[in-house]
Amino acid sequence: MIFNCPGSDKFKKPYPENIKCLSCGGEVEIWTDELSAGCPHCGKMVLRHGEQCCLEWCKHARECAGEKIYEDYMRKIRR
């Protein structure tokens, strides 16, 4: 295993972040290993802001984050 990249920590040890719903302005909890969540206030789907993730471009991503985390993330972005 290579060194522990800080970029993969949000997938190995996910934590919640509050994202503002663009439809109603309410706060939506989206975990760092999720790409979207439904707004509990208006029901609209809220997407995480379009930041590129290191799992998408780093040649060590599969090894660093682990096979399951890497495959789960890649499956989510292909939808």
Give the span between the Cα atoms of 76 and 2, in whole angstroms: 25
- 28-79 tens-digit pLDDT: 999 988 888 999 999 999 987 766 678 888 888 888 888 888 888 888 777 6
Q: What is the pTM of this model?
A: 0.67
Q: Do the domain assignments include residue 64? A: yes
Q: Do the domain assignments include residue 1? A: no
What is the span of the domain harbouring residue 65? 6-78
Number of domains in the chain: 1
Burial of 79 (0-12, 13-18, 19+ CB in 10 A): exposed
